[in-house]
Protein backbone atom coordinates (compact mmCIF):
# COMPACT_ATOMS: atom_id res chain seq x y z
CA UNK A 1 0.00 0.00 0.00
CA UNK A 2 1.26 3.47 -0.75
CA UNK A 3 2.09 5.46 2.34
CA UNK A 4 -0.57 7.65 3.89
CA UNK A 5 0.59 11.23 4.33
CA UNK A 6 0.06 13.07 7.59
CA UNK A 7 -2.13 15.51 5.61
CA UNK A 8 -4.34 12.66 4.40
CA UNK A 9 -4.57 11.21 7.91
CA UNK A 10 -5.40 14.67 9.29
CA UNK A 11 -8.23 14.95 6.75
CA UNK A 12 -9.55 11.54 7.88
CA UNK A 13 -9.44 12.71 11.50
CA UNK A 14 -11.39 15.84 10.52
CA UNK A 15 -13.90 13.67 8.63
CA UNK A 16 -14.29 11.44 11.71
CA UNK A 17 -14.81 14.44 13.99
CA UNK A 18 -17.41 15.91 11.63
CA UNK A 19 -19.51 12.74 11.93
CA UNK A 20 -18.74 11.66 15.51
CA UNK A 21 -19.66 13.94 18.39
CA UNK A 22 -17.65 11.89 20.92
CA UNK A 23 -14.40 13.04 22.47
CA UNK A 24 -11.59 11.33 20.56
CA UNK A 25 -8.94 12.82 22.85
CA UNK A 26 -7.60 15.31 20.28
CA UNK A 27 -5.93 12.83 17.86
CA UNK A 28 -2.98 14.04 15.78
CA UNK A 29 -1.45 12.46 12.69
CA UNK A 30 2.29 11.93 12.95
CA UNK A 31 4.51 12.30 9.89
CA UNK A 32 6.58 9.10 9.60
CA UNK A 33 7.95 9.88 6.13
CA UNK A 34 11.39 10.58 7.60
CA UNK A 35 11.83 6.83 8.15
CA UNK A 36 11.87 4.93 4.84
CA UNK A 37 11.28 1.65 6.67
CA UNK A 38 7.84 2.93 7.72
CA UNK A 39 6.57 3.64 4.22
CA UNK A 40 3.69 1.16 4.56
CA UNK A 41 2.41 2.30 7.94
CA UNK A 42 0.71 5.24 9.61
CA UNK A 43 0.58 6.67 13.12
CA UNK A 44 -1.88 8.80 15.08
CA UNK A 45 -1.32 9.90 18.68
CA UNK A 46 -3.96 10.97 21.19
CA UNK A 47 -3.89 11.80 24.91
CA UNK A 48 -6.66 10.65 27.19
CA UNK A 49 -7.49 13.78 29.17
CA UNK A 50 -8.76 12.01 32.27
CA UNK A 51 -5.71 9.81 32.82
CA UNK A 52 -3.06 11.67 30.82
CA UNK A 53 -2.25 8.40 29.04
CA UNK A 54 -0.84 8.60 25.51
CA UNK A 55 -2.65 6.38 23.03
CA UNK A 56 -1.14 5.35 19.71
CA UNK A 57 -3.25 4.26 16.76
CA UNK A 58 -1.09 2.48 14.22
CA UNK A 59 -1.53 0.68 10.96
CA UNK A 60 0.93 -2.17 10.75
CA UNK A 61 3.23 -2.75 7.81
CA UNK A 62 2.09 -5.41 5.36
CA UNK A 63 -0.93 -4.21 3.42
CA UNK A 64 -3.68 -4.96 5.93
CA UNK A 65 -6.11 -2.09 6.45
CA UNK A 66 -6.43 -2.92 10.17
CA UNK A 67 -5.45 -0.30 12.73
CA UNK A 68 -4.57 -1.15 16.34
CA UNK A 69 -4.52 0.86 19.57
CA UNK A 70 -1.60 0.86 22.01
CA UNK A 71 -1.97 2.39 25.46
CA UNK A 72 1.25 3.87 26.84
CA UNK A 73 2.42 2.16 30.04
CA UNK A 74 1.84 4.04 33.29
CA UNK A 75 4.61 4.55 35.83
CA UNK A 76 2.20 5.25 38.68
CA UNK A 77 -1.22 4.07 39.76
CA UNK A 78 -4.18 6.22 38.79
CA UNK A 79 -6.84 6.86 41.42
CA UNK A 80 -9.96 8.45 39.97
CA UNK A 81 -13.55 9.21 40.96
CA UNK A 82 -16.62 7.50 39.51
CA UNK A 83 -17.23 10.53 37.32
CA UNK A 84 -13.66 10.42 36.01
CA UNK A 85 -14.03 6.69 35.23
CA UNK A 86 -17.14 7.43 33.18
CA UNK A 87 -15.32 10.24 31.36
CA UNK A 88 -12.36 7.94 30.71
CA UNK A 89 -14.74 5.27 29.38
CA UNK A 90 -16.18 7.84 26.97
CA UNK A 91 -12.67 8.77 25.81
CA UNK A 92 -11.66 5.12 25.30
CA UNK A 93 -14.90 4.41 23.42
CA UNK A 94 -14.19 7.37 21.12
CA UNK A 95 -10.67 6.05 20.46
CA UNK A 96 -12.21 2.66 19.60
CA UNK A 97 -14.62 4.31 17.17
CA UNK A 98 -11.74 6.24 15.61
CA UNK A 99 -9.75 3.01 15.23
CA UNK A 100 -12.71 1.32 13.50
CA UNK A 101 -13.20 4.39 11.27
CA UNK A 102 -9.52 4.40 10.26
CA UNK A 103 -9.66 0.68 9.43
CA UNK A 104 -12.75 1.23 7.27
CA UNK A 105 -11.26 4.31 5.60
CA UNK A 106 -7.96 2.51 4.91
CA UNK A 107 -9.80 -0.45 3.35
CA UNK A 108 -11.65 2.02 1.12
CA UNK A 109 -8.34 3.68 0.21
CA UNK A 110 -6.85 0.27 -0.69
CA UNK A 111 -9.82 -0.47 -2.97
CA UNK A 112 -9.49 2.93 -4.67
CA UNK A 113 -5.75 2.51 -5.25
CA UNK A 114 -6.26 -1.03 -6.56
CA UNK A 115 -8.98 0.24 -8.90
CA UNK A 116 -6.71 2.96 -10.29
CA UNK A 117 -3.87 0.48 -10.74
CA UNK A 118 -6.13 -2.21 -12.22
CA UNK A 119 -5.26 -4.65 -9.42
CA UNK A 120 -8.07 -6.62 -7.79
CA UNK A 121 -8.41 -5.75 -4.09
CA UNK A 122 -8.57 -8.45 -1.42
CA UNK A 123 -9.73 -6.02 1.31
CA UNK A 124 -13.42 -5.60 2.25
Interval 19-28: pLDDT, tens: 876 665 678 7
3-class DSSP assignment, residue 30: strand
Residues in the chain: 124
pLDDT tens-digit series, residues 50-104: 888 899 999 877 778 999 999 999 888 888 899 999 999 999 999 999 999 999 9
Domain residue spans in the chain? Answer: 6-117
Phi, psi of 117 (to 5 degrees): -90, -5
Average predicted confidence (pLDDT) for the chain: 82
Q: Please classify residue 51 by burial: count the beta carbons closer than 10 Å to its beta carbon, then call 0-12 exposed, 13-18 middle and 19+ buried.
A: buried
Q: What is the pLDDT of residue 98?
A: 93
**What radius of gyration do the chain's Cα atoms show?**
16
Amino acid sequence: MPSLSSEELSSWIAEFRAHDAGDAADPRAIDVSWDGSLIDTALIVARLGTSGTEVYLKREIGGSPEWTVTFEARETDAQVSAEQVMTLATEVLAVGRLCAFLTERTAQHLREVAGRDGVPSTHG
